Amino acid sequence: MRKKITVVGAGNVGANCALRIAGKELADVVLVDIVEGVPQGKGLDILQSGPVEGYDVMVTGSNDYEPTANSDIVIITAGFPRKPGMSRDDLLMANYEIVKNATEQAVKYSPNAYLILVTNPLDAMCWVAQQVSKFARNRVIGMAGVLDTARYRTFIAMELDVSVESITALVLGGHGDTMVPIVRLTTVGGIPITELLPKERIDALVDRTRNGGAEIVKYLKTGSAYYAPSAAAVEMAESIIKDKKKVLPCAAMLEGEYGHQGIFVGVPVKIGAGGIEKVYEVSLQPEEKAQLDKSAAAVQELIDVLKQKTGQ
């Protein structure tokens, strides 16, 4: 029996997730959106690409959650995108209601699913989904570090004119301008990046990574990135479906690791058939730990605002 993945939100991120899932033949896909006709139309369009592209899965669209029943994974992309000059934090209350409702409905029909969150502000939305679903921490995962690390690797590859596949990197922390690329652990074909670039160039690449999403928003004028975010979310889903046990930087609820409790922060995790199967606690230098603590504090601030405004 084929696996089933629900994608909530049929906008650019959601539709590209559905397309990538179908293209990899990972699972049948149900695309859900509140706008009548949009998920149905996009689902049918993706389905009709199958004979040309050579994939053979069912892709359907719906305005309600009943067809999503018994999904193995639910990817939540629904929400308002950032606009120029808008911080991820501005999105907080607007997207709280969307993620809350999506989680309630998804969990109602698929109580055994794994949740992958993409909606911003990412780390706070993971917390919302976990609070609503009451799922154990292995079943609620945020897509952030995979995307941030991909951006970091891209910029390094451009700088050095080398293959992105030669670059190993790790970005920790919240999904925002407080994220923490760990320069010390960044290598190019095994060579530390500090041996290949001067500090000022590395600092510039780190800064560009932190503002990677905002840079794209600035170019697009309306909307935000969707090709790379969808690729990152699907890599995570694939690791669950195929039990690949990839070690990826993802937003996970910390239970004492790195000195934090009950908040979602980007850390390296092993993702397999059991969702988050292990959280890796990397030994950090004092400066790195201070940056991660600052990033975690920024996430905690958002959670505190949510608690205050929703009375939780």
228-287 pLDDT, tens digit per residue, is 999 999 999 999 999 999 999 999 999 999 999 999 999 999 999 999 999 999 999 999
Q: Hey, what CATH class is 4-142 in?
A: alpha beta
Length of the chain, please?
312
Q: What is the pLDDT of residues 191-219, one digit of tens each?
A: 999 999 999 999 999 999 999 999 999 99
Contact assessment for residue 31 and residue 14, using Cβ atoms and an 8 Å cutoff: yes
Start-end of H helices in the chain: 12-23, 38-53, 92-109, 122-133, 145-160, 199-210, 212-220, 227-241, 286-310
Q: State how far the alpha carbon of 9 is from the alpha carbons of 84, 179, 233, 300, in Å.
A: 21, 26, 13, 26
What is the model's pLDDT at position 176? 83
Contact assessment for residue 155 and residue 171, using Cβ atoms and an 8 Å cutoff? no
Would the pLDDT of 69 be above 90? yes
**Peptide linkage before 121 cis (omega within 30 of 0):** yes
Beta pairing class for 180-181 and 171-172: antiparallel
90-103 tens-digit pLDDT: 779 889 999 999 99
| pLDDT value of position 83 | 67
- With a CB cutoff of 8 Å and minimum separation 6, the contacts of 111 are none
Count CB-CB contacts under 10 A for residue 273. Answer: 14
Q: How far apart are CA 210 and CA 140, in angstroms?
A: 24
Confidence of residue 1 (pLDDT cuts 50, 70, 90): confident
pLDDT score recorded for residue 223: 83
3 state DSSP class of 117:
strand
Within 10 A of 4 (CB to CB), how many other CB atoms are there? Answer: 22
Q: At what angle do helices 12-23 and 38-53 cross, to 10 degrees?
A: 30
Give pLDDT, residue 203. Answer: 97
**89 pLDDT more than 70:** no
pLDDT by residue (tens digit) across 26-39?
Answer: 999 999 999 999 99
DSSP states of 221-279: SSS---HHHHHHHHHHHHHHHTT--EEEEEEEEEESGGG-EEEEEEEEEEEETTEEEEE
Q: Which helix (H) or strand (E) holds 31?
A: strand 28-32
The percentage of residues in the chain with a pLDDT greater than 90, rounded to a whole number, is 90
Please compute the mean of the pLDDT values over residues 58-65 and round it to a whole number.
98
Nearest CA-CA partner of 12 in 58, 70, 61, 79: 79
Residue 97's Cα: distance from chain center in Å? 19
The answer to whether residues 75 and 118 touch, using CB atoms and an 8 Å cutoff, is: yes
One-letter amino acid identity for 2? R
> pLDDT at residue 85 above 90?
no
Query: What pLDDT band is residue 84 in, cutting at 50, 70 and 90?
Result: low
**CB proximity list for 256: less than 8 A, separation 6 or greater:** none
pLDDT tens profile 126-143 = 999 999 999 999 999 999
- How confident is the prediction for the chain on average, in pLDDT? 95
Q: Give the catalytic positions in this structure.
A: 175
Report which DSSP code applies to 197: S
CA distance 256 to 267: 13
CA dihedral (262, 268, 271, 274) in degrees, to 10, reads -30
